Amino acid sequence: MKKLSRYDHTQPGAIDPAQCNGCGVCMLSCPVWHQHRTKALTYCGRNRAAIGGADEDDLAPSAAACILCGSCEPLCPMGIRTQQSTLALRRNLARRGLLPNPRVARDRKKPERAAASRLIIPGASLRDNGRIISAVLRVLGGEAKLHADDGSDLLLSLEAGGEVSDAQIQEYLAPLEGVPELIVADGLMFNLLYSALPSPKSMLPLGPALLRDPNVRAGIKSTDFYMIETRAYNAHRHAFVELYSRLRRETGCTTNLDLQRVATPTGASCMQHREGLKTIISIEEQVKWLLEGRRPARIVVEHPDDLEAFSRYTKLPVVHLAEVAKP
């Protein structure tokens, strides 16, 4: 099992955030900047403050404001892994009780070895949505199975800055070793597994996995607004940008990618929203930003949390990608 370097910027090969040149480019796509215009609450603001000598305590409001959408990461000309850097800061702050008390994973059942040639790791949102699970299983075929342990407790703890040891994560991952194909619905989970599995090439986020089916691609219309799951996409933009460019060319749909091909989030998947914690990000504002200047007839989403966000704040029909497949 690899070391979990993606979540620790002190690991060899990671870019030291101290190399930040303060250009501020990463702020351009940040929902916190878009909604509040407060530099101190952005990655640029807190990182430059840390470089300038600010105490970590002073950075707690900024670390708590971030929704870990990853939209800042692909823009950084220095290649700084902003998402992992913020997670590392949250870990330090949570250890000292300076962030809302994270739920630490405890008493996990001994995981059983997963037996499937194609295993779907659903995350909490997909796990709770029987309608979408049925649609996903219909598209992915009879050999696809849902993994019983979605790992959402580990993810929640990680996102909140809780202590999730390498041993805990490796215990979660052990039964997955040897599964030929993993399909991961939650972007943060995808990023975690990508860092830790010996063969991440056999793994796809749910959206790209569904888009391999021509019937799914045929179901997308030129009048659709297509909502990409941001956390996996932004962390692996180089791997997926061409897939979505082709989708736009072939179908004529619009997407949540900006001109720099960075994915903008609704914010509905963040821990603060899911756990009912205080957040300065308004999902309604995000939805308005995403649809500004566009007049789609329908919204197609990859992540179940975005279904709820668009359903609540628009009058448009909203469907999951798995549901658009033409028979």
Using CB atoms within 10 A of its CB, is residue 24 exposed (0-12), middle (13-18) or buried (19+)?
middle
Residue 26 binds to ligand SF4 (criterion: CB under 6 A): yes
Using CB atoms within 10 A of its CB, is residue 326 exposed (0-12), middle (13-18) or buried (19+)?
exposed
Q: In angstroms, what CA-CA distances link 63 with 117, 184, 272, 326? A: 39, 26, 12, 43
- Dist CA 119 CA 140 (whole Å): 10
Pick the piece of the chain touching ligand SF4 (CB under 6 A) from 3-11, 65-73, 210-218, 245-253.
Answer: 65-73
DSSP 112: P
Nearer to ligand SF4 by Cβ, of 29 and 269: the residue is 29
Task: List residues bridging with 257 in a β-sheet.
Answer: 263
Residue 44 binds to ligand SF4 (criterion: CB under 6 A): yes
- Dist CA 236 CA 265 (whole Å): 15
Residue 76 binds to ligand SF4 (criterion: CB under 6 A): yes
Residue 151 binds to ligand SF4 (criterion: CB under 6 A): no
Nearest to 121 by CA among 211, 197, 212: 197
Nearer to ligand SF4 by Cβ, of 43 and 240: the residue is 43
**Min dist. Cβ of residue 103 to ligand SF4 (A):** 21
Tokens representing 277?
């914690």
Q: Do residues 71 and 30 make contact, with C-beta atoms less than 8 angstroms apart?
A: yes
Residue 68 binds to ligand SF4 (criterion: CB under 6 A): yes
Residue 14 binds to ligand SF4 (criterion: CB under 6 A): no
How many residues lie near ligand SF4 (CB under 6 A)? 29
Binding residue for ligand SF4 (CB under 6 A) from 1, 18, 51, 78? Answer: 78
The residue type of 115 is A
Nearest to 25 by CA among 89, 74, 88, 86: 74
Nearer to ligand SF4 by Cβ, of 75 and 324: the residue is 75
Tokens representing 234?
């932004």
Nearer to ligand SF4 by Cβ, of 22 and 214: the residue is 22
Residue 115 binds to ligand SF4 (criterion: CB under 6 A): no
Task: List residues bridging with 203 in a β-sheet.
Answer: 182
**Min dist. Cβ of residue 281 to ligand SF4 (A):** 7
Residue 25 binds to ligand SF4 (criterion: CB under 6 A): yes
Binding residue for ligand SF4 (CB under 6 A) from 14, 50, 59, 80? Answer: 80
Binding residue for ligand SF4 (CB under 6 A) from 4, 7, 14, 32? Answer: 32
Site map (CB under 6 A) of ligand SF4, residues 259-278, x = contact:
--------------------
Q: Do residues 175 and 249 make contact, with C-beta atoms less than 8 angstroms apart?
A: no
Residue 99 binds to ligand SF4 (criterion: CB under 6 A): no
Nearer to ligand SF4 by Cβ, of 114 and 262: the residue is 262
Q: Do residues 218 and 326 make contact, with C-beta atoms less than 8 angstroms apart?
A: yes
Binding residue for ligand SF4 (CB under 6 A) from 82, 157, 251, 272? Answer: 82
Pick the piece of the chain touching ligand SF4 (CB under 6 A) from 42-50, 115-123, 135-143, 153-161.
Answer: 42-50
Q: Do residues 305 and 125 make contact, with C-beta atoms less than 8 angstroms apart?
A: yes
Binding residue for ligand SF4 (CB under 6 A) from 67, 158, 188, 318? Answer: 67
Nearer to ligand SF4 by Cβ, of 70 and 102: the residue is 70
Residue whose token pair is 């021509």: 214
For 60-91, the DSSP string reads HHHHHH-----TTGGG-TT---HHHHHHHHHH
By the criterion CB under 6 A, which residues form the site for ligand SF4? 20-26, 29-32, 42-44, 47, 66-72, 75-78, 80, 82-83
